[in-house]
Structure 1
Amino acid sequence: MAGNDLQVTIIEPFYGGSHKAFVDVLVNYLEENGIKHKLVTLPAKKWHWRARCSALQLYSRIEPVGSNEILWCSSVLNLAELLGLRPDLNRCRKIIYFHENQLIYPVQQIKERDIQYALNEINSCLASDLVLFNSEFNRTSFLDSISKIIKIIPDNRPKDVRSTIEIKSRVMSFPVKFPKMILGNSSKSSTLQIVWPHRWEFDKDPDEFFEVMMELKKSGMDFQIVVLGEQFTDVPEVFEKMNSNKDLKDRIVHFGFVESKDEYYRILSNSHVAVSTAKHEFFGISMLEATYCGCLPLVPNNLVYPEIYPEKCLYNNRTELISKLKAYCECPQKALDDRRQLCIDFEKYSAEKLAPMYLEVLNT
């Protein structure tokens, strides 16, 4: 398909956070290359309602498409449902991008209603022409979990679902726009500064981070805490608990979302260590940004993290995380030294390198 003939309709029902950042990179690159595009979005509110209702909310807003057009959407959209409401969209090439998947979302107890989001994503993959995942962990965990979801169906279970999806799936990393700045900060505080840079949601396990910080404090360690990240509609109670906790109040030097990207990067560059306690992570832009800005990442030895970070950054349990943090509290310079020794190829995740590759996918 020639570049000048290419037309792309981008649908993002959750236009905020990493979903917005991704779309903005894609749109910017399309504009730079003179490629026609249409953007159809909904605000990033009430994720569960977006996953349930966005096809119904958006179907009448999507303009008619030609057979040479591409429909691009994130997995928040129930693509199969949208195509039922708008049969004319079947004539275009359909690409779905997975920032995360619901097949392995951590829940307290599996109930029938919990699998509906997973079924929606499976149906969307079957209805698409190309399925993209932001990491191999995302792709593999999705494919490996299909049979578990299908088995919950009481009878007439469909066959060959995994193989049908697998053959049209591939991995394409999230295109990160790294700051154009000096990596790290040689004049960091002599007190270890620990940053938690994630969005304020249950699946990032802020309770675990809070409890780790409490244990560090009780053990007599000297450290500072920075809590960053976007807040959406439902904020876990632990954040209010953490901010008002008298034992940690004197340790918290920043608490809350930072609107200015420059200020956000400055805070990261002033920190020594970035911690993830996530239970659900398929890429982790904020951890990669923190690492780029000079923080030493400490991440769980599971999920996507072993795919990105070397072994010295991984921990297997709370005891290991606390042990690592204690060592860095006692000698913050060791955190700086360990960070300098890290070998991470940031270029492979950069928007500058990946954006042209996305254009190739669109042109295929």
Structure 2
Amino acid sequence: MSVLLIEPFYGGSHKQLMDLLQEELQEDCVLCTLPAKKWHWKARTSALYFMQTVPTSSNYRILFASSVLNLAELAALRPDLGKLKKVLYFHENQLAYPVQKCQERDFQYGYNQVLSWFMPEHKLARLEKVIGVKRNGDAYQSEGLPGQQESRAVMKTSDAHPESGLCEPQPGLCTTQHEGLASPPAAPDQAEAPESTNPCQGEDKQGLTFNLSNILSGLDYQQRPLHIAWPHRWEHDKDPETFFKVLMKLKEQDLPFQVSVLGETFSEIPDIFSEAREVLGSSVLHWGYLPSKDDYFRALCTADVVISTAKHEFFGVAMIEAVHCGCYPLCPKALVYPEIFPAEYLYSTPEQLFKRLQNFCKRPDIVRRHLYKGDTAGFSWAALGCKFRSLLAAEPREDL
């Protein structure tokens, strides 16, 4: 139990990351969590809860927590934990997170993150020496580090049951229905796929073969309407309004398409979802959360295009998952996306997004023959696992 993992919001990408680390570290860690409900209360009060519930141990060397936890408060309440080497993982930036209503922002959550991230002068000097952080006035920027403004996802695949986990050595937001990125389930019949098919057909790097015609229940793949996927949380920061307005415009022009609106819902759902469900009508292929990971990846595997309209994104696991399943990505030319996706997959305005989808609706074969031109290998556990193990194996020192 040398690594203490603390997650106040144990759900979604937060859960996926902690589960992966626990699985990889096995007997070398202990995990303390709270359910993924009432996020704001967890951000305000979880330090007091964990102060009372985290077991005392002389074996702890490293504390790994997400920024939902007010780390400064916990360190003050539990001096024994304050002495550990601490790794703080940011899923989002609360100072820049888009507000849903035109009202004064509650700065408590951003303030918590500032307190948790604050480092005294001697630590900043060490950081500059070790990893090349340079000071620019009161700000700091890193040099020579991969993905300065984004994080890296980690895809893990085993021979017996292809699954993956999410890891991010840099701050990042990962929000999706199922954050573990896995190869889609193999179809019963393994047949060699033609070259001009969805990349989900054919043999992937792990040697698994997928027969997309079986997944599509024998329907002619090339004759189906364009299948659009939106696999994000049903919340305002994902900007569902922009997405649905574009689809409604496609519907008005009688363009053929199908849509799968996936992702998890919470207590408050934007009104646009009920409106869009009624307007889109028969164009809806699937609507709602898929608890089964196999069903989720099967839905992505049958989709042609995956869309993001997010207003706040540090990484975007859902998009990488869909690309892994053979989807053509269309993302805003903003946030983290230009760091991950080549320029041809980016759009600047809703009008540009509409025009791209308009063309694809008329010629779905364009995206079905397309082979993704980016690289997702750097997000694999094989590529990043050793870095995490090194980070979490470091011996604590007084200057840390």
TM-score higher than 0.5: yes
Is it true that 1:343 corresponds to 2:373 in the alignment?
A: yes
Counterpart of 1:104 (choices 80, 96, 100) is 96
Structure 2 CA distance for aligned equivalents of residues 166 and 38 of structure 1: 31
Q: Is the 8 A contact 1:301 1:315 kept in 2?
A: yes
| Aligned 1:145-294 pairs, distance under 5 A | 160=138, 162-163=139-140, 173-176=152-155, 177=164, 178-181=181-184, 183-185=199-201, 187=213, 188=221, 190-243=224-277, 245=278, 247-294=279-326
Matched residue of 2:260: which SS? Answer: strand
Deviations 1:196-233 (A, max 9, x none): 00011110011111111111111221100100011223
Partner in structure 2 of residue 83 of structure 1: 75
Deviations 1:69-100 (A, max 9, x none): 11100011110111122122111111101121
Partner in structure 1 of residue 173 of structure 2: none
Seen in structure 2, the aligned counterparts of structure 1 residues 7 and 63 have a Cα distance that, compared at 3 Å, is same
Deviations 1:164-190 (A, max 9, x none): x979x9865232323234751454462
Deviation at 1:110, TM superposition (A): 6.6
Is it true that 1:92 corresponds to 2:126 in the alignment?
A: no
Deviation at 1:350, TM superposition (A): 1.5
Deviation at 1:259, TM superposition (A): 1.0
Deviation at 1:322, TM superposition (A): 0.1
After superposition, the CA RMSD in angstroms is 2.7
Partner in structure 2 of residue 154 of structure 1: none
Partner in structure 2 of residue 26 of structure 1: 21
Q: Is the 8 A contact 1:40 1:62 kept in 2?
A: yes
Seen in structure 2, the aligned counterparts of structure 1 residues 275 and 325 have a Cα distance that, compared at 3 Å, is same
Q: Is the 8 A contact 1:80 1:127 kept in 2?
A: no
Structure 2 CA distance for aligned equivalents of residues 180 and 306 of structure 1: 25
Q: Gapped runs of 5+ residues in structure 2?
A: 125-132, 156-163, 165-180, 187-198, 202-211, 214-220, 395-400
The alignment's TM-score, normalised by the length of structure 1, stands at 0.82
Counterpart of 1:7 (choices 2, 5, 12) is 2
Is it true that 1:318 corresponds to 2:354 in the alignment?
A: no
Structure 2 CA distance for aligned equivalents of residues 349 and 88 of structure 1: 35
Q: What amino acid is the match of 1:120?
A: N
Q: Is the 8 A contact 1:200 1:229 kept in 2?
A: yes
Number of corresponding residues? 324
Partner in structure 2 of residue 40 of structure 1: 32
Counterpart of 1:304 (choices 336, 358, 380) is 336
| Higher-helix-fraction structure | 1
Structure 1 CA distance for aligned equivalents of residues 265 and 252 of structure 2: 29
Is it true that 1:360 corresponds to 2:360 in the alignment?
A: no
Matched residue of 1:254: which SS? Answer: strand
Q: Is the 8 A contact 1:70 1:93 kept in 2?
A: yes
Q: What amino acid is the match of 1:351?
A: W
Q: Is the 8 A contact 1:228 1:258 kept in 2?
A: yes
Q: Is the 8 A contact 2:74 2:82 kept in 1?
A: no
Q: Is the 8 A contact 1:65 1:92 kept in 2?
A: no
